[in-house]
Amino acid sequence: MGEHLNVRISSTGMALPGKRLTNMTLEKMVDTSDDWIVSRTGIKERRILDEQWSASDLAVVSAREALDNADLKPHEIDLIIVATATPDHLVPATACIVQSKLNAFGCPAFDINAGCSGFVYGLVIGQQFIENCTYKNILVIGVDILSRITNWEDRSTCVLFGDGAGAVVLQPSNDAKGVLSVSLMADGEGAEHLMVPAGGSYMPANENTVKNKLHFVKMNGNEVFKFAVNIVVETINILLNKSGLSIDQLHLLFLHQANHRIIEAARKKLNISPHKLPVNIERFGNMSAASIPVLLHENVREGHIERGDLIAMVAFGAGLTCGGVLLEW
Ligand code: UT7
């Protein structure tokens, strides 16, 4: 048997654009109302990144905070994983641009695209490298600038999204048990329910794709909603079963912030009290891969998580995908 290390999240960081877009402003842009948005989604405002900045810029700010909080210098990073569906470019990976801006020369760096589940997928990938003693200091960043791929004339999507970035440092753990169980899944049958149709090799950009707005997110919200509620509950049960824990033992459960009604529906099925489910969707909307790390960072910063607490994170999104991690903080 080879050596096997426990893996913990040793620090967190986040970055949010300063510019707020309120429901009131959206009322002037599309046929919608503050009342509809709040009652159907729970969102009151979201952040929008100014056009001179890109995903890598926001990612770097969140990464610097996580590195500072872990007392780590950029040259000590062994691996950079960036989860994003809105990379700076199709090629090269945003992780390489982040590496360059951080001056973390030489370490491997790559992107993963698992939609809103990307950060949790990234955590699980990073965990493998530490567990098998390949790397010690891993930066996992979830960043999305969905405002850049949003059709601002489509009221069924443009009210939902916000921009943001969140980062964590993963390290071997000497005391806390760290990651206890993980669960990843994908259902590619549902790929069509949430996609950006053009701009890839299937439908390269041309005049028509631009004219027909095929470079923007297209979503079948109802289908994603149904998938989300079921898969969240299933994933949490898998995580608990694998680690031999019961739901009452969880201190906090961080769910992807896509819609307050999804969180509520899952909460009722799981039969747990609302105070165990932190929510920030009213302030930031759906930040895709950034949603969970930003929520986690806020709760760490506010002192809601202490050493030894059991927490779980579950995200779902394009793919369709779902990912969950249960860990001892
Ligand atoms: O991050 C992971 C990916 N995304 C998600 O998890 C999103 C999951 N889905 C959802 O959150 C919800 O399905 C939505 C918030 C997207 C939509 O809520 P819904 O309750 O499923 O509404 P709906 O699509 O069934 O639409 C209900 C009505 C429709 O009008 P009719 O056909 O009943 O007359 C829509 O046209 O609401 C209308 N509508 C709006 N009305 C005002 C849709 N968007 C808006 C809007 N303002 N912004």
pLDDT at 4 over 80: no
The Å distance, Cα 210 to ligand 1 centre, comes to 24
Q: Which among 79, 80, 15 has a CA at the least distance from the CA of 50?
A: 15
Residue 46 has a pLDDT of: 98
Judge if 29 and 112 occupy the same domain: yes
Judge if 117 and 184 occupy the same domain: no
The protein residue with its alpha carbon nearest to ligand 1, atom 3, reads 317
Judge if 151 and 195 occupy the same domain: no
Q: Would you place residue 2 in the very low, low, confident or very high pLDDT band (cuts 50, 70, 90)?
A: low
Contact 49, 17 (CB under 8 A): yes
Note the pTM of the prediction, 2 decimals. Answer: 0.97
Mutate to test the pocket of ligand 1, among 225, 262, 322 (most ligand atoms within 8 A of CB): 225
CATH number of the domain where residue 205 is located: 3.40.47.10
Domain boundary residue, one of 123, 149, 175 = 175
Amino acid residing at 327: L
Structure tokens at 123: 């955590």
The answer to whether residue 1 sits within a structural domain is no
Judge if 47 and 122 occupy the same domain: yes
Q: Is the CB of 224 under 6 A from ligand 1?
A: yes
Question: Is 116 an active-site residue?
Answer: yes
Judge if 27 and 108 occupy the same domain: yes
Residue 180 has a pLDDT of: 97
Closest-lying ligand 1 atom to the alpha carbon of residue 291: 1
The protein residue with its alpha carbon nearest to ligand 1, atom 18, reads 40
Contact 323, 115 (CB under 8 A): no
Question: Is 304 an active-site residue?
Answer: no
Measure Cα distances from 35 to 24, 39, 221, 284 in Å: 10, 6, 18, 17
Judge if 260 and 214 occupy the same domain: yes
Judge if 54 and 95 occupy the same domain: yes
Neighbours of 54 (CB within 10 A): 18
State the Cα–Cα distance between residues 88 and 321, nearest whole angstrom: 22
How does the average pLDDT of the chain come out, rounded?
97
* Burial class of residue 244, CB neighbours in 10 A (0-12, 13-18, 19+): exposed
pLDDT tens-digit map of 83-111: 999 999 999 999 999 999 999 999 999 99
Q: Is the CB of 155 under 6 A from ligand 1?
A: yes
Residue 1 has a pLDDT of: 47
Judge if 241 and 165 occupy the same domain: no
Judge if 294 and 226 occupy the same domain: yes
Mean pLDDT of the region 214-230: 97
The answer to whether residue 2 sits within a structural domain is no
Judge if 148 and 29 occupy the same domain: yes
The Å distance, Cα 156 to ligand 1 centre, comes to 5
Q: Among 6, 96, 107, 116, which one carries the catalytic annotation?
A: 116
Range of the domain at 290: 179-328
Residue 327 has a pLDDT of: 97
Q: Is the CB of 260 under 6 A from ligand 1?
A: no
pLDDT tens-digit map of 106-154: 999 999 999 999 999 999 999 999 999 999 999 999 999 999 999 999 9
Measure Cα distances from 288 to 63, 212, 261, 264 in Å: 17, 24, 16, 18
Domain boundary residue, one of 175, 199, 216 = 175
| Number of domains observed in the structure of the chain | 2
